[in-house]
């Protein structure tokens, strides 16, 4: 029985026998010389082949990123953006911010109608897109941290687009919906003008292959200054879109300093703003440390209680204070101040839920020193790439750029279109994340690397909108506090709280007794389906242990 079948069986057993801890463990994929964990098997294999040909983890991550733009249409992308966290064998770290940015024409109230009500323009259509960053980000990573020729890293994606690949059941089924039929170019490419693809059909994308070939030859110059840029800008102009050629020409990937912190003897390297995720991970771990929450055991009401209360308090701060650090002062130091974290910890009742209406964001003064995908790559030299990128919603804005073959993002919805009203992920955010020209929307993407005694211990990340941060937190806690192997940690049922709405969402697998205790103690418990899609690698005595998520078609492969 293969690793995927074992992983799926474990999750099924947890759903059938709620609360039961299996007496056997699901096993990760193990290898000595390299590991790739991603959402889709062709992309995973593209990265593995780069490792086998002498490329390092960053080279492989670039190849995976381009391949997913072909094989994972709902999230893999050229028309979106994201983050890559890099740790090199010599200990250096870097965070590459290639998040989408608001176009120059963006305005504070651009998604409000004449009556001040939200429109759907931030979700669907040409006006929903921020300036894409993926091509610039992948090129930056390859130039600064890779070692193989650029064209060789793009070539696997070109071949997948030009020759095609057989669609899985989930891929074919996904292309039938998603609102793609509302836009002729999307309907033509992804739905064969209504003659829907069936599982096993070979999906060929000639327009995308031509775009990728230009990128292989000219790099980001083509996408932001060349033929692709001109075609994209013309398509935007023809459809009352907001992105201009000048917006594309002005785009640059930004290298930022990763956030670092500590938890129970481990060092954490994670995402800084404009991601909210790294701050969240460090604040929540700080709140949990010293509570003794882990004594309740994985899956217990006590563990869910303490972790939920930490989540609730962080999201109150997030929604009030966090935004693009190039535009607003984000009080990172205040949110991670040990005295403030101590105050948050002390405010948690040992048993009962704290209503979100009673949880107020902190007050900080003084100077400061949904549809997404994540993949993780490690090589035998000790280099690590942990990358999350996105179109935001599934299939982004549903718009395919005419003649270019790639979908555009709907990332503008990650801004606060109207303070006090929820976005597509239910997040109620504040003025710090309001729309402004050239501004980056606040993100939850949280690529993270954990070190023990200065050596890599765990690398991971997740898609899933606001659930990203909590999915990453839970897998980390499962490995560090509950001593699970990395596959069990990824498989374990998850839960989520984001302050508003005031409910704790739980996957199948929690016992009726646990749920009853939570409800008795004041929680509104809402049953949900799968949460997140963690791709993780653990470093264990010379072995690379890859864990794909059985909630998806994720795969892990090593050499």
For 499-543, how does the pLDDT look when each residue is reduced to its tens digit (9 = 90+)? Answer: 999 999 999 999 999 999 999 999 999 999 989 899 999 999 999
Provide the 8-state DSSP code for 458.
E
Considering the chain, what percentage of its residues have pLDDT values greater than 90?
88
Return the closest-CA partner of residue 276 out of 345, 337, 324. 324
- Under the phi-then-psi rule, with left for phi > 0, alpha for psi from -120 to 50, and beta for the rest, what region is 544? beta
**Model pLDDT, residue 23:** 42
Mean pLDDT, rounded, of the chain: 93
For residues 243 and 276, membership in a common domain is answered with: no
**Model pLDDT, residue 447:** 98
For residues 391 and 363, membership in a common domain is answered with: no
How far lies 236's CA from each of 120, 135, 244, 260, 399, in Å?
Answer: 18, 19, 7, 40, 10
Which pair of structure tokens corresponds to residue 406? 């790639």
Report CA torsion sign: 403, 405, 406, 407.
positive
Judge contact between 13 and 493, C-beta under 8 A.
Answer: no
Residue 124 burial class via C-beta count within 10 angstroms: exposed 0-12, middle 13-18, buried 19 and up:
buried
Return the closest-CA partner of residue 125 out of 282, 25, 235. 235
Decide if 292 is inside a domain: yes
For residues 146 and 193, membership in a common domain is answered with: yes
Judge contact between 102 and 439, C-beta under 8 A.
Answer: yes
Whether pLDDT at 423 is above 60: yes
**Model pLDDT, residue 418:** 85
83-101 mean pLDDT: 98
11-21 mean pLDDT: 39
For residues 107 and 121, membership in a common domain is answered with: yes
Which pair of structure tokens corresponds to residue 61? 């991550």
pLDDT digits 0-9 by tens, 195-211: 999 999 999 999 999 99
As a whole number of angstroms, the distance between CA 265 and CA 242 comes to: 48
Confidence of residue 171 (pLDDT cuts 50, 70, 90): very high
The two counts, helices (H) then strands (E), for the chain are 18, 19
454-474 mean pLDDT: 95
**Model pLDDT, residue 212:** 98
Decide if 191 is inside a domain: yes
Whether pLDDT at 261 is above 70: yes
User: Domain holding 525: CATH number?
Assistant: 1.10.246.130
Residues in the chain, total: 559
Residues 6+ apart with CB under 8 A from 520: none
**Model pLDDT, residue 363:** 61
For residues 333 and 469, membership in a common domain is answered with: yes
For residues 55 and 141, membership in a common domain is answered with: yes
Q: Is residue 97 classed as helix, strand or coil in its secondary structure?
A: strand
**Model pLDDT, residue 1:** 33
How far lies 268's CA from each of 263, 272, 458, 461, 533, in Å?
Answer: 7, 12, 10, 13, 20
Question: Where do we find the tokens 């459809």?
Answer: 239
Decide if 67 is inside a domain: yes
Q: Angle 41-52/150-163 helices, nearest 10 degrees?
A: 150
**Model pLDDT, residue 160:** 98
Nearest 5°: the CA angle 230, 232, 237 is 95
269-277 mean pLDDT: 97
For residues 139 and 178, membership in a common domain is answered with: yes
For residues 237 and 265, membership in a common domain is answered with: no
**Model pLDDT, residue 465:** 83
Confidence of residue 492 (pLDDT cuts 50, 70, 90): very high
Which pair of structure tokens corresponds to residue 64? 């995976």
Which pair of structure tokens corresponds to residue 526? 């809402």
**Model pLDDT, residue 14:** 42
Decide if 430 is inside a domain: no
- Across-strand partners of 270? 259
Residues 6+ apart with CB under 8 A from 21: 298, 299
Residues 6+ apart with CB under 8 A from 66: 46, 138, 153, 154, 156, 157, 212
User: Between 178 and 528, where is the model more confident?
Assistant: 528
Residues catalogued as catalytic: 372
How far lies 477's CA from each of 3, 209, 281, 285, 529, in Å?
Answer: 23, 42, 11, 9, 21
**Model pLDDT, residue 59:** 98
Confidence of residue 22 (pLDDT cuts 50, 70, 90): very low
Run of H or E residues at 169: helix 169-176
Return the closest-CA partner of residue 499 out of 371, 360, 362, 372. 360
As a whole number of angstroms, the distance between CA 37 and CA 378 comes to: 9
For residues 198 and 279, membership in a common domain is answered with: no
Residue 113 CB: number of other CB atoms within 10 A? Answer: 10
Q: Angle 301-321/512-520 helices, nearest 10 degrees?
A: 60
For residues 511 and 488, membership in a common domain is answered with: yes
Rg over CA atoms, the chain: 22
181-194 mean pLDDT: 97
Decide if 551 is inside a domain: no
Please list, residue by residue across 56-93, b when 16 or more beta carbons sit within 10 angstroms of its beta carbon and e when fewer do: bbbbbbbbbbbbbbbbbbbbbbbbbbbbbbbbbeeeeb
Number of domains in the chain: 2
Whether pLDDT at 364 is above 80: no
Judge contact between 121 and 111, C-beta under 8 A.
Answer: yes
pLDDT digits 0-9 by tens, 23-33: 457 999 999 99
Phi, psi of 31 (to 5 degrees): -155, 165
264-275 mean pLDDT: 98
Question: Where do we find the tokens 């201009």?
Answer: 244
**Model pLDDT, residue 367:** 38
Residues 6+ apart with CB under 8 A from 2: none
Decide if 188 is inside a domain: yes
Decide if 555 is inside a domain: no
How far lies 283's CA from each of 268, 286, 436, in Å?
Answer: 12, 5, 28
Decide if 208 is inside a domain: yes
pTM of the entire predicted model: 0.93
As a whole number of angstroms, the distance between CA 522 and CA 354 comes to: 8
Residues 6+ apart with CB under 8 A from 24: none
Whether pLDDT at 455 is above 80: yes
- Please give the residue range of the domain that contains residue 292: 258-371+446-454+462-543
323-345 mean pLDDT: 96
For residues 108 and 211, membership in a common domain is answered with: yes
Judge contact between 92 and 452, C-beta under 8 A.
Answer: no
**Model pLDDT, residue 419:** 81
pLDDT digits 0-9 by tens, 109-158: 999 999 999 999 999 999 999 999 999 999 999 999 999 999 999 999 99
343-365 mean pLDDT: 88
How far lies 238's CA from each of 111, 229, 234, 474, in Å?
Answer: 20, 14, 6, 46
Which pair of structure tokens corresponds to residue 211? 């775009």
255-276 mean pLDDT: 98
For residues 227 and 167, membership in a common domain is answered with: yes
- Across-strand partners of 81? 390
**Model pLDDT, residue 11:** 41
């Amino acid at each position: 029985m293969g690793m995927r079948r074992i992983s799926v069986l474990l999750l099924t057993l947890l759903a059938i026998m709620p609360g039961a801890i299996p007496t056997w463990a699901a096993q990760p994929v193990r290898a000595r010389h390299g590991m790739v964990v991603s959402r889709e098997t062709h992309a995973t294999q593209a990265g593995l082949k780069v490792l086998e040909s002498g490329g390092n983890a960053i080279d492989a991550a670039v190849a995976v990123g381009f391949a997913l733009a072909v094989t994972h249409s709902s999230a893999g992308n050229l028309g979106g953006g994201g983050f890559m966290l890099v740790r090199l064998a010599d200990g250096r770290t870097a965070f590459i911010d290639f998040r989408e940015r608001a176009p120059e024409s963006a305005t504070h109230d651009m998604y409000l109608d004449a009556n001040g009500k939200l429109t759907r323009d931030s979700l669907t259509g040409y006006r929903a897109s921020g300036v894409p960053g993926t091509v610039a980000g992948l090129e930056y990573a390859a130039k600064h941290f890779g070692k193989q020729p650029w064209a060789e890293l793009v070539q696997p994606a070109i071949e997948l687009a030009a020759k095609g690949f057989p669609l899985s059941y989930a891929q074919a089924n996904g292309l039938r919906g998603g609102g793609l039929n509302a836009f002729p170019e999307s309907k033509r490419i992804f739905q064969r003008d209504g003659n829907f693809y069936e599982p096993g059909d070979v999906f060929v994308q000639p327009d995308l292959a031509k775009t990728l070939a230009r990128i292989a030859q000219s790099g980001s110059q083509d996408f932001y200054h060349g033929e692709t840029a001109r075609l994209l800008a013309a398509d935007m102009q023809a459809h009352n879109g907001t992105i201009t050629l000048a917006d594309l020409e002005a785009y640059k990937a930004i290298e930022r300093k990763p956030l670092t912190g500590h938890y129970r003897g481990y060092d954490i390297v994670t995402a800084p703003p404009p991601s909210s995720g790294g701050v969240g991970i460090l604040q929540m771990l700080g709140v949990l440390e010293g509570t003794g929450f882990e004594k309740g055991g994985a899956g217990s009401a006590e563990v869910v209680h303490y972790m939920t209360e930490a989540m609730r308090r962080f999201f109150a701060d997030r929604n009030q204070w966090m935004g693009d650090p190039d535009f607003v002062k984000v009080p990172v130091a205040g949110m991670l101040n040990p005295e403030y974290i101590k105050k948050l910890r002390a405010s948690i009742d040992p048993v009962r839920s704290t209503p979100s209406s009673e949880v107020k964001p902190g007050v900080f003064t003084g100077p400061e020193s949904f549809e997404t995908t994540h993949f993780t790559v490690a090589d035998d030299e000790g280099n690590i790439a942990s990358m999350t990128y996105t179109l935001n919603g599934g299939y982004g804005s549903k718009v395919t750029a005419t003649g270019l073959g790639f979908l555009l993002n709907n990332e503008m919805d990650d801004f606060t279109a109207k303070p006090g009203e929820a976005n597509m992920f239910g997040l109620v955010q504040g003025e710090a994340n309001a729309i402004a020209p050239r501004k980056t929307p606040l993100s939850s993407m949280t690529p993270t690397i954990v070190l023990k005694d200065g050596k890599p211990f765990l690398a991971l990340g997740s898609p899933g909108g606001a659930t990203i941060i909590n999915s990453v937190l839970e897998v980390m806690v499962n490995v560090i506090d509950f001593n699970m192997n990395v596959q069990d940690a990824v498989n374990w049922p998850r839960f989520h709280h984001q302050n508003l709405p005031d409910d704790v969402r739980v996957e199948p697998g929690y016992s009726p007794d646990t749920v009853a205790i939570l409800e008795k103690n004041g929680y509104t418990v809402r049953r949900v389906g799968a949460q997140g899609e963690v791709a993780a690698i653990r470093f264990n005595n010379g072995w690379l242990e890859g864990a794909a998520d059985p909630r998806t078609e994720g795969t892990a492969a090593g050499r």
